[in-house]
Amino acid sequence: MRFRPVSAIHIWNALIADAAAAHMNMLRVWAVDSIEENAFYDLCDRMAFLIWQDFIFACGIYPEEDAFAENVRVEALENVRRLRHRASLALWCGNNEMEAGLGGLEVEQPERAPAVQSLKAGYDRMFHHLLPDVVAAEDPDRPYWPSSASSGIPFSDPNGQQRGDTHYWDVWHGRKPFTAYREQFPRFMSEFGFQALRLTRRSRCMPSPKTRI
């Protein structure tokens, strides 16, 4: 289950209780959001959930300058020290979908190969050295996973089904039927799903077809 944080503790309580009732045992704090408040981890500790904790890097390209890398190191250090005592914390993950994205860019736009190689070098510095070094020094008993999805081997079939974790969005995003899930056999499916309807109260704010411009 991918967990998208909200601020009200009673809503957290209800969501985590619902996850437990559905026989889930792990929540992922997703890189597109934020590292959560202590109250969230208090609830997960108390309800015996495991937490897959992303660092907050996702679906993009980040600066390669030394000053930025130092800022990342300090932020990672502060958050690892803040959360390393948590019973619920199971794993640190470097980012969301950046490895797969760079690999796809190289395949889809071969004319940009030199630029992509430079981006890969910056990626390697941050996600294969800087962040795992912080985790190894400050929280050595917990595993570090470089990206989601990843095979665990840099840029080697990062969304494959033979190693590591997989994201599968061909149902909904790829317009395949729900039966397509029966053809997927990954080692660990860390993302899949279907886009939900918007909140009713937001739908009521939308203009009617007659009044749309």
Residues annotated as catalytic are: 97
Using alpha carbons, select from 80, 77, 75, 99 the residue that is nearest to residue 91.
Answer: 80
For the chain, helix, strand, coil in percent to 5 are 40, 15, 45
Q: Which amino acid is at 164?
A: G
Give the integer Cα–Cα distance in Å for 33 and 45: 20
Give the integer Cα–Cα distance in Å for 123 and 135: 17
Give the integer Cα–Cα distance in Å for 185 and 8: 37
